[in-house]
Amino acid sequence: MAKVKEEEVGVPVLKESMGFHLPNKKIHIKPIIKKGKWLSEEHSGNFMYDNTTAIITVPINAQTGQLVDPLTKEEREFFENKKVSGMDFKEGDLNIHKKTNQLTGEFNHWTLFEYRIHKNQGVLDDASVLDTLDLSNPVDYLKYKVLLANGLPGGSVSPSWDKRFDQGTYRLSLMDAAVEDDISANKADKLGKAWGYYTSIQNSRVKMHELVSVYWLENRKAIKPEDNANIEWLKKEISKIINENLDGFINLIESNYEEKLLIHTALKCGALRLNGKSFQTADGIPLGDSLREAILYYRDERHNEAKLKLIAQIELANTKKEE
């Protein structure tokens, strides 16, 4: 009796290379916003002008003059198997070297491939998403692979968000939707901490002034508050710091804030002084060229006596102020 092949009864026979499966993952396509000489980040044309379309095609390798192959061998075999992929490709259709024959109606799929990304009206920012691809969908997966192919040197697509500034030619960036969700959740947690701390000190001009002053000591390009800065200005400045440098604010309040405040208080009463970038004692002993170095100086057990002296000087100055 002749052996019936599984293919003949409708059961697909998977080749060894058919180990490829469409991943259960979603990818965001995000604009890369760059500051330019002519356009600000707030301009609606900071990425693309309103109601314009970016057309993504399969790139050509500058060295070989051939199309860049977007697919691996295993991926190509998957998509060319109709029973497995559900796509209307047959063997050889996704070969980048396939010749177009107008007489027979044969054509190279990749030379005609276009993925269009439309930009509606409005200003885009780092949170904007132009499109989302579901990689479990075969059509979306092919778009994804063509986008990745455009990540070669001189290409327009960054393969990941953290690499978006690696090449000046990048205009789009890919980002795992799950990763972005994690980043968003982490940012929400940080915002909660930042505004929670702000709420705890918002009724104290002294504590807010100390906070902004210590921030300036860590970030010398920031604004140094005037001694008589009013509470409304301080609230506005703290809000600005949280919105523009959230990580810096969290680092400020969670990393050795009491030690930072000690240095600030010593500077204010004259027990320490700043000579340019150099932190020094009132006697001119150098402590370092940054707030961190000054903290480490007093944290060193060899300088315990100097730290006790510093605290005594602060207490004496406070006593005189109260008299």
3-class DSSP string for 217-244: HHCCCCCCCCCCCCHHHHHHHHHHHHHH
246-254, long-range: CB within 8 Å, 24+ apart, which pairs? 246/187, 246/190, 246/191, 246/194, 247/190, 248/215, 248/218, 248/219, 249/194, 249/215, 250/190, 250/193, 250/194, 252/211, 252/214, 252/215, 252/218, 253/193, 253/194, 253/197, 253/211, 254/193
Range name among 72-86, 91-105, 158-172 with the lowest pLDDT average: 91-105
Read off the pLDDT of residues 140-154 as tens digits, 9 standing for 90 and up: 999 999 999 999 888
Q: Rounded to whole angstroms, how far apart are CA atoms 40 and 4?
A: 69
Q: Work out the average pLDDT over 270-290.
A: 90
- Asked whether residue 274 carries a pLDDT value surpassing 60, the answer given is yes
What H or E segment, with its residue span, contains residue 119? Answer: strand 115-119
Structure token pair of residue 140: 């979306």
User: Coil, strand or helix: which one is 115?
Assistant: strand
- Asked whether residue 4 carries a pLDDT value surpassing 60, the answer given is no
Q: Name the band, by pLDDT with cuts 50, 70 and 90, for residue 6.
A: very low
- The average confidence (pLDDT) of the chain is 85
**Residue 119, number of CB atoms within 10 A of its CB:** 19
Q: Name the band, by pLDDT with cuts 50, 70 and 90, for residue 107.
A: confident
- Asked whether residue 85 carries a pLDDT value surpassing 70, the answer given is yes
Residue among 155, 154, 78, 164 nearest 126 (CA): 164
pLDDT at 228 (0 to 100): 92
- Asked whether residue 70 carries a pLDDT value surpassing 90, the answer given is yes
- Asked whether residue 270 carries a pLDDT value surpassing 70, the answer given is yes
pLDDT at 62 (0 to 100): 83
pLDDT at 57 (0 to 100): 94
- Asked whether residue 206 carries a pLDDT value surpassing 90, the answer given is yes
Read off the pLDDT of residues 13-63 as tens digits, 9 standing for 90 and up: 334 345 789 999 999 999 988 765 444 555 444 577 777 888 999 999 888
- Asked whether residue 78 carries a pLDDT value surpassing 50, the answer given is yes
Q: Rounded to whole angstroms, how far apart are CA atoms 181 and 280?
A: 46
pLDDT at 128 (0 to 100): 85
pLDDT at 16 (0 to 100): 39
Percent of the chain with pLDDT over 90: 55
pLDDT at 181 (0 to 100): 73
Q: What residue spans define the domains of the chain?
A: 16-181, 188-322
pTM equals: 0.59
pLDDT at 105 (0 to 100): 64
pLDDT at 272 (0 to 100): 92
